[in-house]
Amino acid sequence: MADSIAFTSDRTLWHRIGRIGIYTLLAVFAFYYIMPLIVIVSTSMKDLDEIRTGHLLSLPAQINLDAWTFAWSEACIGVTCTGLKPYFWNSLAMAVPAVLISIMLGAITGYALTKFRFRGANVIFAMILFGCFIPFQVILLPMATSLGYLGVANTIPGLVLVHVVYGLPFTTLFFRNYYVNIPDDLVKAATIDGAGFFTIFWKIMLPLSLPIIVVTIIWQFTQIWNDFLFGASFTSGGNQPVTVALNNLVNTTTGVKRYNVDMAAALMTAAPTLLVYIFAGRYFVRGLTAGAVKG
């Protein structure tokens, strides 16, 4: 479409002014989006004197990573001064199993709901899908009580359970919508050849699922890693995920306020999902549009 309406037909003065206007506006917006990242990175490399004397956009005199090591292993989060490190591992220990389990469940459920459709399958799918829309506030209190009953209150496995349950509607949606477009004939032929339910899933469906698996992994990982609400509601002390720890670090008021450490910690918290975005941006966007248009 760009071809047909781009302002290329007449090379007048107005056209050129228009192009300059467009590029200027796009550049202004690019500045708005990129500026906070530059500020985070450059502030994290300044020492406190530089921060005091300089301003937002002044660059550090030299690359100084003291604040990074401090944020990683020494900074105080509440009353314990362990740095972000243990919380970072908490997040990883929470995200990896939660992503894997929710994806396996979503894949097999999506498969059963599309390729071995039973009566009421669509109703069941619609009921599962409803989980994408609820504001989580409405389940916080029962969940806190139930985690206590189950004996996993304030533990990483408890958080894994929470993320699996509330990630499931999204993973089911992704896989179901993907499998709906895979021809039924494929499954029929395999059934005639004598292949069973699980054989068809392993041998035929999964090998075809790579793109949607990647999209779902990225979506789930981003959601779970960035979660704050569940972490803040269901964990305390040393079991908190990194987002909660970052917030506590920033709001810990004992001693001198080290803004460079705050920024270094923010950068570390953002790093995993940023890296995913940089290296798999295409899939990330696809997941966003697929997940969010429906959710």
Partner 1 sequence: MDTNNQNAVKGVGDWFRWHLSKFVVAPSFLMILFFVYGFILWTGYMSFTKSKMLPIYNFEGILQYVKLWKQPTWLASFENLFVFGSLFIAVAIAFGCILAIFLDQKIRGEGALRTIYLYPMAISFIVTGTAWKWILNPGSGIEKLVQSFGFENFEFDWLVDPDYAVYTLVIAAVWQASGFVMALFLAALRGVDGEIIKAAQLDGASISRIYMVIILPTLRPVFLSSFVILTHMAIKSFDLVVALTGGGPGNASWLPANFMFEMTFRRNQIGQGAASAMIMLATVLAIIVPYLYSELREKKHG
Q: Fill in the amino acid letter for 78.
A: G
Q: How far is the CB of 73 from partner 1 (least distance, A)?
A: 19
Minimal CA–CA distance to 171: which of 95, 97, 104? 104
Q: Which is nearer to partner 1, 63 or 123 (CB)?
A: 123
Q: Which is nearer to partner 1, 68 or 262 (CB)?
A: 262
Quickly count: other Cβ atoms within 10 Å of residue 276's Cβ.
17
Q: Which is nearer to partner 1, 209 or 262 (CB)?
A: 262
Q: Which is nearer to partner 1, 92 or 108 (CB)?
A: 108
Minimal CA–CA distance to 127: which of 160, 159, 177, 172? 172
Q: What is the C-alpha separation between 88 and 272, in angstroms, rounded?
A: 10
Contacts of 135 (CB under 8 A, 6+ apart): none
Q: What is the C-alpha separation between 268 and 83, in angstroms, rounded?
A: 11
Q: How far is the CB of 37 from partner 1 (least distance, A)?
A: 8
Are 83 and 73 in contact by the 8 Å Cβ rule? The answer is yes
Quickly count: other Cβ atoms within 10 Å of residue 137's Cβ.
9
Residue 132 DSSP label = G
Q: How far is the CB of 265 from partner 1 (least distance, A)?
A: 8
Q: How far is the CB of 208 from partner 1 (least distance, A)?
A: 18
Q: How far is the CB of 112 from partner 1 (least distance, A)?
A: 4
Q: Which is nearer to partner 1, 83 or 169 (CB)?
A: 169
Q: Which is nearer to partner 1, 156 or 161 (CB)?
A: 161
Are 116 and 197 in contact by the 8 Å Cβ rule? The answer is yes
Q: How far is the CB of 88 from partner 1 (least distance, A)?
A: 13
Q: Fill in the amino acid letter for 99.
A: V
Q: How far is the CB of 138 from partner 1 (least distance, A)?
A: 5
Tokens 């504001």 -> residue: 135
Q: Which is nearer to partner 1, 71 or 156 (CB)?
A: 71
Tokens 């609820």 -> residue: 134
